[in-house]
Amino acid sequence: MLSKNSFNSRKYFYYYLASLLSLLLIGWAKGFAHETNLPPLEPFVRLVINGLYLNLAAAFYLLVSRSAESAGDRKNRFLFFAVASLFCFLWPVFSGDLMEYLIRGRILGVYHQSPYRHVPAEFPGDLLYRYSTWKANPDSYGPIGVWLETIPALIFPHSARGMIAVEKFIFLGFMAAAIFFFSKIVEVSGLSPKPRLAALFGFSPLLIVSSLIDGHNDVVMLAFTVGAVYFLLKKRTTRLFLFLTLAFLVKYTVLLVAPILAALALGEVWKEKKIFPALFALREIFLNAAIIFIAFAPLWGGRDTFLALIRASDWFYTNTLPYAFSQLVGFFGLKADPHFVKYSFLGAFAALYAVLFCRVLRSGTDDPQKLFRTLCLVYLFFYCTITIPFGFHYLLWALPWLVLSRWPMDIFLVTLYSFTGLFSYFKRMNYLILIACAVYAAALLWRRHGHRFSARVQ
């Protein structure tokens, strides 16, 4: 039996675990209200989800702030992954992206056609056809993403639930890999307190909901990216480039940070050899270009390989920050051309990116926290320019770097960040981000000047 002291040190972990388990009630609520929409629209279902989320936010905050060290022992990690695995059997709740992956995986695995050349609309009799929203779009992910979404179709070609479970278990494996590499980064970088940093990332509700409840493939790219940063800090440059290539072959948005990581890696080799490593650079370019060619070759669809991305480049979606800016301008009686707003935001991002790039190159890898803050800011600034539908799972890209940046009030900030994304299923992401920024700014002001206000009141 657990001693009283042992139980007290673990009670917050058990509360968090119970709160995590309670998310399984979402499936019951959807069935009870006969909810079929993604995301849920029924008021009862939303009420249940919001209550569960608020409880989980409290549990996560208490876990990290009060019991992070005991939460990370081997037994508790096993319990956590045992609970997490249960979500692999849950139907997606907030987004239909998983079904989009799977039907395109079936195009390759069942119909033996490239999902870059063919679209779901060509297979109206397919098991998953009715779940697809983007029927006219070819696959928008890299070839590793295509192969990973094909595996479930090969194992369970006649079972939607079987395919969902297999794909989510694949994502669970990559989630474990991301947590593993993250813990290694914490060790190598010398940041502290280590248990708290590990818990902030590894037990993050944003990581769990996006990867296992909804089944987004961002966690695969994230695992390779976190691994690449670990190899950069360990000065294992060839592995760094390999992992960046693998991340690119899953999701192309790793290109946001790949130039920074590649330049830092070349700088480390240059510093070691005292001359520019031209042969090394050429070897890495050739090797990784060959991997990319081999991965794309069997599936290549010409221009259609990137058609979904090309189409998305013209969008100006209502849950983005540029759209919110255009609304603000309209509030004052002015009219802002969407293209002008879009490219103005992109131009501002390019300028900020250049500044961050130059700053981090000067410091190299000698200051890991500056590197982490640079990666974090690159993603956060990029979120300001998104004009395609802003999915909450995009916030996962910045999560490890937000944790490692150690900004003030980091536990509060990461909790606020995570649930800003999670609550976006029923409120627009752009407005939630603006509210979250205001809340964080107010919290910082209160932390610095609240004692003066309290003294005046007294």
Q: Report pLDDT digits (tens) over 272-327.
A: 888 888 899 999 999 999 999 999 999 999 988 998 888 888 888 899 999 999 98
Cα torsion through 246, 97, 418, 29, rounded to 10: -140
Q: What tokens appear for 393 in the block?
A: 């799972």
Q: What percent of the chain has pLDDT over 70?
A: 96
d(CA 169, CA 273): 43
Q: Is the pLDDT of residue 1 over 60?
A: no
Q: Is the pLDDT of residue 4 over 60?
A: no
Task: Answer whether residue 372 shows pLDDT above 80.
Answer: yes
Tens digit of each residue's pLDDT (9 = 90 or more) over 83-113:
999 999 999 999 999 999 999 999 999 999 9
For 111-155, the pLDDT digits (tens) are: 999 999 999 999 999 999 999 999 999 999 999 999 999 999 999
Angle of the 143-155 helix axis to the 160-189 helix axis, nearest 10: 140
Q: How confident is the model at residue 67 (pLDDT cuts 50, 70, 90)?
A: confident
| Tokens read off for 365 | 């890898």
Look at residue 286 in the predicted model and tell me its pLDDT: 96
Between the two ends of the chain, the Cα-to-Cα distance in Å is 48
**What is the per-residue pLDDT for 456?**
58
- CA separation for the pair 249, 242 (Å, rounded): 11
Q: What one-character-per-residue DSSP string does 165-201 give?
A: HHHHHHHHHHHHHHHHHHHHHHHHHT-S-HHHHHHHH
For residue 293, the Cα-to-chain-centroid distance in whole angstroms is 26
User: What pLDDT score was predicted for residue 272?
Assistant: 83
Confidence of residue 452 (pLDDT cuts 50, 70, 90): low
1-to-7, 75, 82, 407 alpha-carbon distances in Å: 9, 15, 21, 40
Question: What would the two tokens of residue 66 be?
Answer: 């009060």
pLDDT of residue 249: 98
pTM: 0.94
pLDDT, residue 117, reads 95
Confidence of residue 448 (pLDDT cuts 50, 70, 90): confident
Query: For residue 454, what pLDDT is reported?
Result: 56
pLDDT above 60: residue 74: yes
Q: Give me the chain's average pLDDT, please.
A: 92
3-state secondary structure of 438: helix
Q: What is the pLDDT of residues 167-187, one digit of tens each?
A: 999 999 999 999 999 999 999
Residue type, 258: A
Residue 91, pLDDT score: 93
pLDDT, residue 364, reads 84
Confidence of residue 6 (pLDDT cuts 50, 70, 90): low
The first and second tokens of residue 28, run together, are 């019951």
The domains of the chain are located at 15-66, 313-395
